[in-house]
């Protein structure tokens, strides 16, 4: 009998949740890795929007042609500490009855549960408790973002046997050894398990890992370490394998630095796509670095099938970039947008991210940034800052926030605007998001 590992992507409790290519990528990589070393692997994806049993309890979520859209949703009571927040709280994911039924199908040797945003831990706790209720003697381990950035908190609130912080390899090896399970000798590749229920409508791919920048508002370096260049050929093989097996045509990049060293990785990958004759659609939900855009790259991206380009611009303030990221000159935006439009991208297919709600940031800075970007005829998205442990801004955020963010990860949630103050209120944020929508160029059909 092969050793059996059950993987669980838990439900999410939040004020809002939209599926912008949100896939259990880390779990699928672990699953492929363990499968290659002789394990039998099964996934329970609590964010499965096609789950039939949940359709008997919850309203069917609306989905779009590109594999994005809504999840199953059910109203949920707010945690006590969030009672004062005047927004509806919900549980996103398949019905609890569906999870329990899947758990009862067979008994694993080990359960591995992923964790996403730090403030999503209530869903992780639910998954742990359901596992312990179904088979109390089976060991349960939790890894992922929350387990890495908030390990001490996780140890207090999760009734789990193991917390796996950092990269799964080698962190999970002592767990496998302690349970007398096979111990793989090599780290996981970027190739995931190919499951139709996860990747049928849209799949994700990651070429490189990590990021060379050390932006003070971002946790990429704390989670993924230094930048590691990937392989164009391996990335192509993964994409082609998913397409050939499932017919998937929509792919989103999970890279934090997709365009870095593009001449040796991304561009050869896109040329392989074009030479193969594959007709695919590519998306970049994480955004790309403006300084790396040139005419050749933009043209290749457009011809290979990119349906949009999202730029992490963050602010039109020189002081912002001098203090927070040191990654671009604001004058580069006009040139970058012009290059993308000349390559064939319409303004509605070019998105520009602006960051709002940082410690002691004035609302006027964001408004000036919106008006600056509006001059170039693109789509503008105002992203709310979330204070994340392990980032350069977290200590400053702890001092500035009106919430106890150091003790309670629920207050990391950008939906409550953790850094609101008299210079930037929640009402200011609503006004600015409305302004951004009013001046944005919408995608053409």
Per-domain residue ranges for the chain? 4-178, 207-439
Superfamily of the domain at 207-439:
Aldolase class I (3.20.20.70)
Q: What is the dihedral of CA 50, 412, 158, 48, to 10 degrees?
A: 0
CA dist., res. 59 & res. 222, Å (int):
38
| C-beta separation of 339 from 294 below 8 A | yes
Q: Are strands 12-14 and 90-92 parallel, antiparallel or unpaired?
A: antiparallel
The torsion angles phi and psi of 110, rounded to 5 degrees, stand at -160, 140
Same fold yes or no, 4-178 and 207-439: no
Superfamily of domain 4-178: Cobalamin-binding domain (3.40.50.280)
Rounded-to-integer distance, Cα 227 and Cα 212, Å: 5
Per-residue pLDDT of the chain (445 residues; tens, 9 = 90+): 899 999 999 999 999 999 999 999 999 999 999 999 999 999 999 999 999 999 999 999 999 999 999 999 999 999 999 999 999 999 999 999 999 999 999 999 999 999 999 999 999 999 999 999 999 999 999 999 999 999 999 999 999 999 999 998 999 999 999 999 999 999 999 999 999 999 999 999 999 999 999 999 999 988 988 899 999 999 999 999 999 999 999 999 999 999 999 999 999 999 999 999 999 999 999 999 999 999 999 999 999 999 999 999 999 999 999 999 998 889 999 999 999 999 999 999 999 999 999 999 999 999 999 999 999 999 999 999 999 999 999 999 999 999 999 999 999 999 999 999 999 999 999 999 999 999 999 886 5
Strand order in the sheet with 162-164: 40-45, 4-9, 110-113, 140-143, 162-164
Token pair belonging to 77: 């009571």
**Assessment of whether the complete model's pTM goes beyond 0.75:** yes
Q: How far from 166 is each of 26, 81, 172, 222, 246, CA to CA, in Å?
A: 12, 28, 10, 8, 31
**Angle formed at CA 304 by CA 302 and CA 201, multiple of 5 degrees:** 105
Q: What gap in Å lies between CA 363 and CA 426, rounded to an integer?
A: 10
């Amino acid at each position: 009998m092969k050793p059996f590992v059950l993987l669980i992507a838990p439900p999410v409790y939040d004020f809002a949740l939209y599926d912008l290519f949100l896939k259990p990528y880390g779990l699928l990589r672990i699953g492929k890795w363990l499968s290659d070393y002789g394990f039998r692997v099964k996934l329970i994806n609590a964010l499965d929007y096609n789950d039939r049993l949940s359709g008997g309890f919850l309203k069917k979520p609306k989905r779009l042609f590109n594999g994005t859209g809504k999840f199953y949703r059910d109203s949920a009571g707010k945690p006590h500490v969030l009672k004062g927040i005047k927004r509806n709280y919900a549980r996103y994911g398949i019905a609890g009855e569906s999870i329990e039924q899947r758990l009862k199908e067979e008994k694993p040797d080990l359960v591995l549960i992923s964790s996403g945003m730090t403030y999503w831990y209530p869903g992780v706790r639910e998954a742990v408790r359901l596992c312990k209720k179904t088979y109390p003697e089976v060991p349960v381990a939790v890894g992922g973002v929350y387990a890495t950035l908030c390990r001490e908190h996780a140890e207090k609130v999760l009734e789990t046997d193991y917390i796996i912080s950092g990269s799964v390899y080698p962190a999970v090896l002592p767990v496998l050894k302690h349970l007398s399970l096979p111990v793989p000798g090599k780290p996981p590749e970027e190739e995931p398990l190919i499951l139709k229920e996860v990747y049928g409508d849209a799949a994700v791919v990651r070429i490189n890992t990590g990021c060379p920048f050390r932006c003070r508002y971002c946790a990429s370096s704390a989670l993924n370490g230094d930048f590691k260049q990937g392989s164009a050929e391996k990335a192509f093989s993964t994409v082609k394998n998913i397409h050939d097996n499932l017919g998937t045509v929509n792919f989103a990049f999970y890279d934090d630095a997709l365009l870095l060293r593009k001449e040796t990785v991304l561009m050869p990958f896109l040329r392989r796509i074009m030479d193969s004759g594959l007709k695919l659609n590519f998306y970049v939900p994480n955004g790309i670095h403006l300084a790396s855009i040139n005419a050749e790259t933009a043209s290749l991206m457009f011809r290979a099938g990119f349906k949009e380009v999202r730029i992490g611009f963050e602010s039109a303030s020189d002081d912002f970039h001098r203090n927070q990221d040191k990654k671009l000159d604001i004058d580069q935006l006009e040139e970058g947008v012009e290059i993308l439009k000349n390559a064939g991208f319409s303004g509605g297919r070019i998105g520009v991210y602006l960051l709002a709600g940082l410690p002691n940031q004035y609302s006027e800075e964001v408004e000036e940034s919106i008006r600056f970007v509006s001059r170039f005829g693109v789509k503008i998205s105002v992203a709310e800052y979330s204070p994340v442990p392990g980032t350069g801004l977290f200590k400053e955020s702890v001092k500035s926030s009106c919430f106890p963010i150091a003790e309670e990860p629920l207050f990391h949630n950008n939906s409550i605007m953790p850094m609101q103050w008299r210079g930037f209120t929640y009402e200011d944020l609503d006004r600015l998001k409305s302004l951004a929508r009013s001046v944005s160029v919408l995608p053409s059909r």
